[in-house]
Amino acid sequence: MEDSLMISEEDFLKILSTVRTVGDIDFIDYEPYLLCHRFERFMQMQGYASVALLIDKMMQDKNFIDFFLYKIKVGTTEMFRDPQMWLELQKNVFPKFSGETVLKIWLPDVCGDDELNTLLILLEKNNLLVKSMIYATSYSERVLDDVKMGTIEPKKMEVSLDNYKQFSSDTEFFANCFFKSDRFQCLSPKLLDKVIYLKHNVIHEEPPDNGFNLIIFRNRALYYNMSSRKTTIEKLYRSLLPGGYFAIGIGETLRGLEQNTKFVPVSKTENIFKKP
């Protein structure tokens, strides 16, 4: 097991200040304990023996900040993770969109392409992609560059296919959503072309658009402090259309937030809600 670097509070605040100054990202809105753990892990993996060396690198190389932000993101692991949640969307939410002329969906603070790819495949399977306008946003350009590629490593592809099989027996449809490129599988451009990719800080900036039919915000607010969680969820609530749907992680909760009384539960087990 790797030894913990145990970043001091003083050094932790120095990193926050440097990222804020150089990268214009204010991590004061995130849970300190979880964030410190991510900083420590980055230093261990990248071989930085001290916070001073890390800060020097940030100050000397402006491009390093985006690499740092990219590496400390908590990535997703595979497509169709939590298959029952996606099945719930297909069975009880997607049919409500059949009468919409334009279907607007937002994935704020994306940390990888797994959920986006899952969503695109499901929309195509349900003949909804053709009228969809999908926003994928992140504060990291590098994350967005990865998401745009739609590349899936072989091991992740195997796990994703197993997840999909719990969801549907139509594996031929799943396979046809990809093409082979070198050693990777890549999502078809006809699916990815429906996505609008934007650099955006969901905590500090206003939504990139309004009138969304669906917002998927799973396992992101876990890393925000309570104040930022409240303001961000309220912002997402306002950007939904009346009758719009909101999905969070199955291990998350809206308890303690004002929106807990505003949203109507659609699925308590899968944490899908509706704006009245």
DSSP annotation string for 3-25: PP----HHHHHHHHHHHHHHH--
> Do 129 and 63 share a structural domain?
no
Look at residues 72, 102, 119 and tell me which one is the last residue of a structural domain.
72
Q: Is the predicted pLDDT of residue 71 greater than 50, yes or no?
A: yes
Q: Is the predicted pLDDT of residue 92 greater than 90, yes or no?
A: yes
Is residue 2, in this structure, part of any structural domain at all? Answer: no
Q: Is the predicted pLDDT of residue 3 greater than 80, yes or no?
A: no
Q: H helices within 61-185, ranges in order?
A: 64-72, 83-88, 114-125, 141-149, 154-167, 171-176
Number of structural domains, the chain? 2
> Do 67 and 109 share a structural domain?
no
The percentage of the chain sitting over the pLDDT mark of 70, rounded to a whole number, equals 97
Q: Is the predicted pLDDT of residue 119 greater than 90, yes or no?
A: yes
Spatial separation of the C-alpha atoms in residues 274 and 269, rounded to whole Å: 14
> Do 189 and 103 share a structural domain?
yes
Convert the pLDDT of each residue in 171-227 to its tens digit: 999 999 999 887 788 999 999 999 999 999 999 899 999 999 999 999 888 888 888
The percentage of the chain sitting over the pLDDT mark of 90, rounded to a whole number, equals 58
Is residue 50, in this structure, part of any structural domain at all? Answer: yes
Task: Please give the average per-residue pLDDT across 61-77, as a whole number.
Answer: 80
pLDDT of residue 2: 41
Q: Is the predicted pLDDT of residue 66 greater than 70, yes or no?
A: yes
Is residue 196, in this structure, part of any structural domain at all? Answer: yes
> Do 168 and 188 share a structural domain?
yes
> Do 137 and 29 share a structural domain?
no
> Do 264 and 146 share a structural domain?
yes
Segments forming the whole domain that contains residue 197: 83-274
> Domain of 131: which CATH number?
3.40.50.150
pTM of the model: 0.86
Q: Could you tell me whether strands 240-247 and 151-152 are parallel, antiparallel, or unpaired per DSSP bridges? A: unpaired
Look at residues 21, 53, 72 and tell me which one is the last residue of a structural domain.
72
Which has more pLDDT, 221 or 40? Answer: 40
> Do 219 and 190 share a structural domain?
yes
Is residue 171, in this structure, part of any structural domain at all? Answer: yes
Mean pLDDT over each residue of the chain, to the nearest integer: 90
Question: What does the DSSP 8-state code read for residue 2?
Answer: P
pLDDT band at 62 (very low <50, low <70, confident <90, very high): confident
Is residue 78, in this structure, part of any structural domain at all? Answer: no
> Do 128 and 21 share a structural domain?
no
> Do 228 and 103 share a structural domain?
yes
Task: Please give the average per-residue pLDDT across 154-167, as a whole number.
Answer: 87
Look at residues 21, 42, 72 and tell me which one is the last residue of a structural domain.
72
Is residue 138, in this structure, part of any structural domain at all? Answer: yes
3 state SS of 70: helix
> Do 62 and 144 share a structural domain?
no
Q: Is the predicted pLDDT of residue 95 greater than 50, yes or no?
A: yes
> Do 150 and 268 share a structural domain?
yes
Is residue 159, in this structure, part of any structural domain at all? Answer: yes
Convert the pLDDT of each residue in 138-148 to its tens digit: 988 888 998 99
pLDDT of residue 10: 93
Is residue 77, in this structure, part of any structural domain at all? Answer: no
DSSP code string of 197-241: EEE--TTTS--SSS-EEEEE--SSGGGB-HHHHHHHHHHHHHHEE
